[in-house]
Structure 1
């Protein structure tokens, strides 16, 4: 369906009646929360929601990591809540332990954030309950909700919507005719729109780029600056993210020649998943994939660490919104 949505395949028009029903239902649901404040739980501290309106990855996790670093730089103590997509056998709510938990218990993205950023992360499909548990478990003064745009039971002070610049809104239709979780008009109601892969800020969105920082060996932890890789140009490349081609293009930008292996977003891996990869060549994967493969990684397996880059204008707009939220508390 992804290819059809983003190539505007004509046969999708057959699904338009279903899309109309879906769009009407999600709009009515949002209005029920907006018109009945008693249905919404408000945290005693500011809540920043990072999300999207399209199915598939748009760069929410790099955005959350950037936010954590920025908030810490201005003296705040952020914590994160997440659904914990794919978590199995875990009692919710759950405070992620980066040293003990596995991606099977927490989901890949929450564990990645907890390990990389060393901030408290709570997973629970019930976002208000996750936020309440976070407040009871850790000293935080701002909450980041990862992928929580449509979870209206959780009150929010700031909404950041992430788009994939290459894909945009596809055919701009709601499910199932198109990839949208909510009608495109939703973009006008959020506080900040960020376009991942856009070259520069414009009137519609702030630009975000993902810069390769280092290649990290999955067995030894050795780090090599991305621009100083000397392991050979021909590499096996693995990506189980919303847009795998973006990762493969990043490797090409490092003058590598990746043999790309695309997996579904949040894919679960076993050693058998890599039988098509040449064991004699270095294998490079995303950091999100790496958290699920450390138990059986080989000596020549690496992950690419990336950092989101955003403009001073975005940081200024973010701080302006935060100051307004803090004054209203």
Structure 2
């Protein structure tokens, strides 16, 4: 019997073309389209209510299923907002967590309770983070605990219609809209728009635009590496540490939706890697690395689930992403946000 991971990757591959599997799933896709259209219609008619929080809201999301680069985009946006004088906080569903309800994230909270991405946003972004299925309730809870927050970033909230937003960032990767069909026959959560939606900016986490929508290209690469124990202490990534791994076998481990991107970036830096892809949001309950492994390199999304004391004699390195927003994107986004009012110190 095929593993859930292999089935997921098979489905991801099927979404790139209109082949036999995608065609077989079309009846389920039509049902999904009908249900999502009904839900959106209920909001349009006012039978389901959209709630506005007392601070501006910026939503980051993607139209397709699977990771398209939302987390590095959100981290870059937090940096931009702080440079502009805002005091941001983050709300997220907390995909993959075993908990329910509202959970405030701190450095000691296990990723299993928060989801790996919210914990990473808190550790790397240095901002308050709250997770909850209801992003409106999470936003209220975060504001009650952190009155200094004057803007909320909603991670992966494009389809969360209950939360009103002032602006949204739509992220695409190399897959674009895939085969153009809706789930589960294709990757689209929402219909592909013919033009950029109102109050939206498109960002391509890719080498070139992957849809007809006008947008901006993110600049991405590897900032360097840092030992796992140093990463947990907040050490900055070092380019020389990454270069020092050249010439010796390294096990590259990635629990991502699109691990090939990570592996390609490592090879571009001259590393001789053995690929070890894992399911997206892998929990790392067991470190099942091959016997005799000396060096392992992981992403930051993986690192939040591996405490240094668990690594034993294996040298674990964390490769940090250098993800930059182009100036034109920053200007377009800031123009959508309300003017920031001076805050008392």
TM-score by length of 1: 0.91
Tell me if 1:132 matches 2:140. Answer: yes
The 1:220/1:156 distance shift into structure 2, 3 A limit, reads closer
1:1-329 correspondence runs (5 A): 1-36=11-46, 39-88=49-98, 90=99, 92-98=101-107, 100-138=108-146, 139-164=148-173, 166-185=174-193, 188-189=196-197, 191-199=200-208, 204-221=214-231, 225-226=238-239, 229-233=243-247, 234-274=249-289, 276=290, 278-280=292-294, 282-294=295-307, 295-298=309-312, 299-323=314-338
TM-superposition CA deviations, 1:57-80 (whole Å, max 9, x none): 011000110011000001000000
TM-superposition CA deviations, 1:43-64 (whole Å, max 9, x none): 1111011011111101100011
Q: What is the alpha-carbon root mean square deviation over aligned residues? A: 2.3
- How far did 1:242 drift? 1.3
* Aligned-partner SS, 1:288: helix
The 1:246/1:54 distance shift into structure 2, 3 A limit, reads same
* Aligned-partner SS, 2:180: coil
Runs of 4+ displaced beyond 6 Å:
200-203
CA contact (8 A) 1:187 1:193 kept: no
The 1:309/1:224 distance shift into structure 2, 3 A limit, reads closer
- For 2:287 and 2:213, locate their aligned partners in 1 and report how far apart those are by CA, in whole Å: 47
* Aligned-partner SS, 1:269: coil
TM-superposition CA deviations, 1:278-329 (whole Å, max 9, x none): 513x210110001111241245111111132121100100110113798xxx
- For 1:37 and 1:28, locate their aligned partners in 2 and report how far apart those are by CA, in whole Å: 11
- For 2:31 and 2:237, locate their aligned partners in 1 and report how far apart those are by CA, in whole Å: 51
- How far did 1:18 drift? 2.2
Greater shift in the superposed pair: 189-198 or 200-209: 200-209
CA contact (8 A) 2:218 2:325 kept: yes
The 1:292/1:33 distance shift into structure 2, 3 A limit, reads same
CA contact (8 A) 2:170 2:202 kept: yes
- How far did 1:182 drift? 1.2
The 1:6/1:247 distance shift into structure 2, 3 A limit, reads same
- For 1:182 and 1:155, locate their aligned partners in 2 and report how far apart those are by CA, in whole Å: 17
- How far did 1:91 drift? 5.5
- How far did 1:116 drift? 1.2
TM-superposition CA deviations, 1:143-174 (whole Å, max 9, x none): 0000011110111111111111x211111100
- Number of aligned residues: 321
- How far did 1:249 drift? 0.5
The 1:7/1:209 distance shift into structure 2, 3 A limit, reads farther
* Aligned-partner SS, 1:76: coil
TM-superposition CA deviations, 1:214-256 (whole Å, max 9, x none): 2010134465523552123331101111100000011011111
CA contact (8 A) 2:219 2:326 kept: no
Unpaired runs of 5+ residues, structure 2, are: 1-10
- For 1:34 and 1:239, locate their aligned partners in 2 and report how far apart those are by CA, in whole Å: 41
- For 1:226 and 1:253, locate their aligned partners in 2 and report how far apart those are by CA, in whole Å: 13
Unpaired runs of 5+ residues, structure 1, are: none
* Aligned-partner SS, 1:143: strand
Greater shift in the superposed pair: 248-257 or 191-200: 191-200
